Structure 1
Amino acid sequence: MQLGVDTHKRTHVVVALDEHGHQLGARTVPNTPEGWATALTWAREQQQQQQRRWGVENSGSLGKGFAQFLLAQGEAAVHEVSPQRTAQYRRRGRTQDKTDQADALAIARLLLAEGAYLPQVQQDDVGTELRLLSDHRDNLLVDRTRLINQLHGQMLQIDPGYQARSGALTRRRGLLYCRDLTLPEPDGVAQTRLLIVRQLVGQILRLEEEIATVTAALGERVRASATPVLALCGVGEVIAARLIGELGTVPRVHSAAALAALAGVAPVAVSSGGRGGYRLNRGGNRQLNRVIHLMALSQRRCDPRAQAYYAKKRAEGKTSRAAMRCLKRRLVDVLYRCFKQGTVAHPVAVAA
């Protein structure tokens, strides 16, 4: 039995289909623990002998509570469905209605057609913690950069050329210089700018304390996970945290090629009229792609095996960017082996 769930802030709509695609019923429940229990009880009453497959739209946000509830209650097949896929299957219907029940029906039909290929929702674990902390740390870094840019703009107005005296604003020395700056005879505008500068410096220093606290929490959880990826060149605790956060402690993919596709590292085949080739993959998990790119940059700089592989690809006539893409794809093999087998053997070789 296929159960499509259209999720919202206040309510969820569930539609059930049998194995032939016939609608068994629909139910609207509150987005509360009581409502989730009502939906599960109703689903179990539809066809008790059939295995249930759930498709939950936005299982990482609006539908997260319901999806985690289903897993906790022993429902083995709970799949993530993106709103884009829901819209695709809704447009295939006989009508053009855009209702919550129509969306839930589209999700159920998607499950019936492609359920075996949809990603499964996983129960929260250390990977969830690391993803949340990594996202929070990234947001704090963005806020710090924004405040430093504002500080730089103010300092240029009241102390032109200050960089030669203060140093970089990303260092504590530069921030303290700005905070302690005095002007001989400041007018009203200059005094206002000084006030803003001191407030900005205070906010940046507080943000740096928060960043240090979050980074320490990341490190504790990564070390406790005993992940083998820390043994790889170019992988510190922050990158390891992002890897575990995006992949989990054990990736759900079945091969290195599938992991490459998930990360958007695998090239996309294109052909037309007898001519074929490959193009850059701009899809996949871009956070994971960014981390693998940072690993490749570090290994190209520090790891002799990666350097030899990169040089070989350049000697074959590939551009610098194309050679980096090849190196990233080889590093996916390393990551897959690390997560699945717990080994750090490096498959990058000049002969590869």
Structure 2
Amino acid sequence: MHKQHHVAVIMDCWQEKITEIKVENKPAAFPAFLLDIDKLVGEGLTPIFGLEDVGGYGRALAQFLTDHGQVVKEVNPALSAAERKSHVTTHKSDSWDAECVARILVNKLHSLPDAMPDDLYWSIQQLVTRRNGLVKAQGALKNQLHIQLSYHYPSYKKFFSEIDGKTAIAFWERYPSPSNLEGLHIEQLTDFLLEASNNTCSTKKASDILRLVKADGQTAKEYQDTRDFLVRSIVRDITFKKQEMRKVENALRELMRLLEYKLDSMPGIDLVTASALIAEIGDIRRFPNANKLARFAGIAPVYIGSGGKGKERKSKQGNRALHALFYNLAVQQVQVAKGSKLPRNPVFHAYYQCKLKEGKTKGQALVCIMRRLVNIIYGMMKHKTAYELPIINNQERVS
């Protein structure tokens, strides 16, 4: 599968190559490709398509084939890569890659998952990817703003709790350097901060800022106008990224509503986490049971042994993005509030403490929680049910 064209190798069940077809990656070329396949298929035979990429460049072809009632299997790129390396002479070309995919299709036909290119799940995945890109870009912009402000306001970290908060952004844009504060009275700065913060900032905040600026000394340099422009440019970009992120989250919220999942009923799962889970899992019907989902996420242990000796070890395979989501969710389940000292999820907190008493390390105990979370998330998605926090008594919490 490629951006401009796809290469298909037609192989029979004895792994003999019949022919090779090159097709353009555009919907107008797909009907002719299907007709070419029909000419090669004998009477009473059913063609089966194996696609290495059903979510990227190959998604349009996968959608076309499934819409026309064809059997389409998804071939993991790791399998075809292993097939290439299994030969004595290792080489790489489009034809050889396609032949390796065909070999995997023949050898592992019954274990390969069906390709289900659903537009709804794909759209959610794209929105999650877009949001992750915005978050990464915003982090880079914050670092740039830190660098610029360190030149202008040496004590800038004491001004506001967050450098990219609503009030802070408004302040940096209006006063990118101390030179813009010259001749400004404390009453004027107070009025500005009150308006920017919706009346949450006080005169004390304005007084503290002016005092810190005076204590920092003279920071004006040559080409100060250019330096001010840099701060304002970064601030405008941060503001734009935040606006885009809100729009992306609104679009996610609308699509998530169509799925009717109630994942956000569990403590620690918000819109962002729920959409990320769905983006990685996709249609839950791909997995016949929770064990398959756990293996897909790399949470299920794997047995390592030889000569009759061995033991189960933590898996380092599977979908690492989904593994990270379950890990972060497990950490949140056992967290305790700073003020009240009450656990966010008493059931999982008690289960975590029980595993620690059994002699497990904190990491091992978290893996146990991750495995239970897989069962719960699987059930919630399959049956579209909400999470109900079980009630436990004090004796159970202590034990």
Give the TM-score taking structure 1 as reference length. 0.89
Letter in 1 for 2:153: D
What is the CA-CA distance between 1:262 and the residue it aligns to? 0.7
Cα distance, 1:78 vs. partner?
A: 1.2
**Aligned ranges for residues 44-55 of structure 1 at < 5 Å?**
44-47=38-41, 48-55=43-50
Deviation at residue 303 of structure 1 after TM alignment? 0.9
Work out which of the residue numbers 12, 26, 35 in structure 2 matches 1:32: 26
Q: Percent identity?
A: 31
The one-character-per-residue Cα deviations of 1:261-304 (angstroms, maximum 9, x if unpaired) are: 11111123223565533333222112222222232122223111
1:292 is the counterpart of 2:326: yes
Aligned to 1:333: 375
Q: Which residue of 1 aligns with 2:315?
A: 281
Determine if the alignment matches structure 1 residue 313 to structure 2 residue 313.
no
Amino acid at match of 2:51: V
The alpha carbon displacement at 1:325 in A equals 1.1
Deviates more, 1:244-253 or 1:139-148: 244-253
Distance 1:100 1:120 in 2: 23
Structure 1 residue 347: Cα displacement = 10
The answer to whether 1:121 aligns with 2:115 is: yes
Larger radius of gyration: 2
Distance in 2 between residues matched to 1:344 and 1:38, nearest whole Å: 47
| Structure-1 residue corresponding to 2:246 | 212
1:341 Cα shift?
A: 2.7
Q: Give the CA deviation at 1:223.
A: 2.3
Query: Offset at 1:16?
Result: 1.4
1:3 is matched with: none
Aligned equivalents of 1:274 and 1:156: distance in 2? 63
Question: How does the TM-score come out when normalised to structure 2?
Answer: 0.79
Shift of 1:248: 2.6
Tell me what 1:56 maps to. Answer: 51
Identify which range, 308-317 or 96-105, moves more after superposition.
96-105
SS of residue in 2 equivalent to 1:21: coil
CA contact (8 A) 1:334 1:347 kept: no
Tell me the secondary structure at the aligned position of residue 166 of structure 1: coil
CA distance in 1, matches of 2:356, 2:259: 37
Matched-pair contact (CA < 8 Å) for 2:54–2:117: no
CA distance in 2, matches of 1:293, 1:92: 34
Name the CA distance, whole Å, in 2 between partners of 1:346 and 1:260: 22
Give how far 1:30 is off.
Answer: 2.0
Q: How does 1:14-163 map to 2 (within 5 A)?
A: 14-47=8-41, 48-75=43-70, 77-92=71-86, 96=90, 98-163=92-157
Code of the residue aligned with 1:70 in structure 2: it is L
Residue in 2 aligned with 1:191?
225
CA distance in 1, matches of 2:383, 2:329: 20
Change (3 A) 1:275 1:22: closer
In the alignment, residue 56 of structure 1 is paired with which amino acid? Answer: L
CA distance in 2, matches of 1:283, 1:146: 30
For residues 57-77 of structure 1, what are the alpha-carbon distances to aligned partners after superposition, in whole Å with 9 as ceiling and x for unaligned?
2222222221111112111x2
Paired residues in the alignment total 344
Shift of 1:42: 1.2
In structure 1, runs of 5+ residues without a counterpart are 1-6
| CA root-mean-square deviation | 2.4
5+ residue gaps, structure 2, are 180-217, 336-343
Cα distance in 1 between the residues matched to 2:134 and 2:305 = 44
Report the secondary structure of 2:312's partner residue.
strand
> Aligned partner of 2:96: which letter?
A
Residue 238, structure 1, aligned to residue 232, structure 2: no
Letter in 1 for 2:360: K
CA deviation profile, 1:299-322 (whole Å, cap 9, x unmatched): 223111111111111111112121
